[in-house]
Amino acid sequence: MATIRDIAKLAGVSSVTVSRVLNKDNTLSVSEETRQRILAIAEEMNYQTPRSRRAASSKETPEASEYSNIKIGTVMFLTENQEEDDHYFHAIRQGVEKECVASGIRTADIFRMELFESPKMDFGDVDGVIFIDRSYDFNIQNVRTLKHVVFVDSAPDVESFDSVVIDFERVAKLALDHLFDLGHTKIGYIGGNRTYGKDQRQFYFERYMKEKELLNPEHVYMGGWWIPEGNRLMKEAISKGDLPTAFFVANDALAIGAIHAVKEAGLRVPEDVAIVGFNDIDMAEYTSPPLTTIRSQPELMGRMAVKLLIDQIKGREAPVQVVVPAKLIVRNSCGS
């Protein structure tokens, strides 16, 4: 059976672009030539989207037909290329789309906030909006004009809006306690900047390390969120000297870049530097050495967001916060 990745390879575009074209995302900025090429390849390969396969099936449940008139919008704060590289947020969006299909919801339009000169809150005739992350501090008052809203991976106002989040305090303690148990006390942090404030992984790392009287602000390195940034930040840490014996890294992409930098410097992971990542992307198990990391459940987070939105549309008024559990996956990058 043909996949989106197969079509993307033949069309010479990203799988995100293929997905959005096939799902008739009108906000996608792509040439008509590219759009027609994707559609032609999909037709030649007899590809059907999950929604079209489901529509062709006679197995629709009564519950699905109940929601067939609901239309929701998904707001992303990443460009298409950034989403392609960010497994975490891409998986959240996939979870949203899969739950829409399973629930019989008509469509899940995608709005990319970076396309606007200023964050507008006009999403047309959608019945509800799911915000995935929030990469800058847009005016929360504008969101209050929307009737049904769920935030995923952020909770700007728990008294007003539903949210689906991870317990980052527990996550930081899982990672650090593992490193403490292995004898590490000089522990650094590599993470990405946020425009609306400190990332929660960094916040709880610093707080827990401070409680242990082990925090050294000189060992906190911040930059972007991609593999090259992990490489750059680890090189910066190595060049300064007084290198921590272990690092908690805010996502697996940064951790992979950091591992490469350690090796390029002639050092070893985990003998010289132990590393814990976050997300447990597919590649984490196959790095050298395999990456110890926090396994989140981003697809489940997306699915839960849709369930919460449906519940709001059905009449629930009190806001709800769902905390999706994460767990430590121990591999060899810490030496245990």
Q: Kindly report the pTM of this predicted structure.
A: 0.75
CATH 3.40.50.2300 applies to domain 71-166+299-324:
yes
Please tell me the predicted confidence (pLDDT) of residue 319. 95
Do the domains 4-58 and 71-166+299-324 sit in the same CATH topology, yes or no? no
Task: Tell me the CB-side half-sphere exposure of residue 161, using CA atoms within 13 A.
Answer: 26
CATH topology of domain 4-58: 434 Repressor (Amino-terminal Domain) (1.10.260)
Please tell me the predicted confidence (pLDDT) of residue 180. 97
Query: Does the pLDDT of residue 318 top 90, yes or no?
Result: yes
Q: Could you report the per-residue pLDDT of 6-57, keeping only the tens digit for each?
A: 888 888 888 778 877 887 766 667 788 888 888 888 888 878 665 555 455 4
Please report, for the chain, the start and end positions of each structural domain, with discontinuous segments joined by +: 4-58, 71-166+299-324, 168-296
**178-188 mean pLDDT:** 97
Q: Could you report the per-residue pLDDT of 244-256, keeping only the tens digit for each?
A: 999 999 999 999 9
Q: Would you call 205 exposed, middle or buried from its count of C-beta atoms within 10 A (0-12, 13-18, 19+)?
A: buried
**Which runs of E-coded beta strand occur in the chain?**
71-76, 107-112, 128-132, 149-152, 162-166, 187-192, 220-223, 246-249, 274-279, 292-295, 321-324, 327-329
Phi, psi of 118, deg, nearest 5: -140, 150
Q: Which CATH architecture has domain 168-296?
A: 3-Layer(aba) Sandwich (3.40)
Please tell me the predicted confidence (pLDDT) of residue 305. 96
Please tell me the predicted confidence (pLDDT) of residue 119. 52
Question: Any residues with CB less than 8 A from the CB of 305 and at least 6 apart, and which?
Answer: 92, 95, 96, 99, 130, 150, 152, 162, 164
Please tell me the predicted confidence (pLDDT) of residue 15. 77
Q: Could you report the per-residue pLDDT of 200-245, keeping only the tens digit for each?
A: 999 999 999 999 999 999 999 999 888 999 999 999 999 999 999 9
